[in-house]
Amino acid sequence: MGPEMMAENHAVRSEGLVRRIQLAIACVQRVLPIWYSAFPKDNKPELMLEMVERYLNDQTDWDSVWELKNNFWGRLDNLLCKEKHFDSLYVGFASACVVTTVLQDEVMDDLADSPLDEELDAYSWDSRFYASLAYAGGASWDKHSSIPRRREFWTWYISEIPEVYNNLSNPNFK
């Protein structure tokens, strides 16, 4: 996917970053209907994706996008405490993570010695993982989560990777 590149705590635009952003956006778009099933009049996840595009096209600044993302994340955290619509909220978190990716990239460490997903802090999960939670109805350790749906999501995801490499000519990401 390309190396992570940072300058002064900001992601440096590179082919690898653009690939990661495109995959993250594809994941959120895949699960947007789940968001709208619970919040039919709230387009905040799509607004997050629009802000990513505006940022990449130099139509807004880093601080504004960071603040918008943090405000949305706080709202999602508050909704999560009400223990309703977990699947939909995961879509919201996934869209906020796309913003984090465009602003700070993703740490691309060697996963050989990484802890299990359930051992990680939820704040460290990425957009792909949140989208998979939404799609499957929860994490693998949740009793209501669907193994076939999780498998379907990740099979779809793996098939998207070649498309990302082929679509780098997308004018929205130049």
pLDDT digits (tens, 9 = 90+) for 62-75: 999 999 999 999 99
Structure tokens at 141: 């350790």
Alpha carbons 124 and 133: distance in angstroms, whole number = 14
Query: Residue 11 in contact with residue 65, Cβ under 8 Å?
Result: no
Residue 76 has a CB neighbour count (10 Å cut-off) of: 19
* Residues near 25 by beta carbon (within 8 Å), at least 6 away in sequence: 49, 52, 98
**Phi/psi at 116 (5° precision):** -70, 160
**Phi/psi at 60 (5° precision):** -155, 165
**Phi/psi at 84 (5° precision):** -135, 150
Give pLDDT tens digits along the chain (174 positions). 655 665 677 776 778 788 889 999 999 999 999 999 999 999 999 999 999 999 999 999 999 999 999 999 999 999 988 877 889 999 999 999 999 999 887 765 545 556 555 655 566 678 999 999 999 998 888 888 999 999 999 999 988 777 766 665 554 544
CA nearest neighbour of 134 among 78, 96, 163 = 96
Query: Residue 117 in contact with residue 139, Cβ under 8 Å?
Result: yes
Alpha carbons 5 and 1: distance in angstroms, whole number = 12
What is the H or E stretch that residue 7 is in? Answer: strand 6-7
> Which residue shows structure tokens 């223990």?
83
Alpha carbons 135 and 45: distance in angstroms, whole number = 15
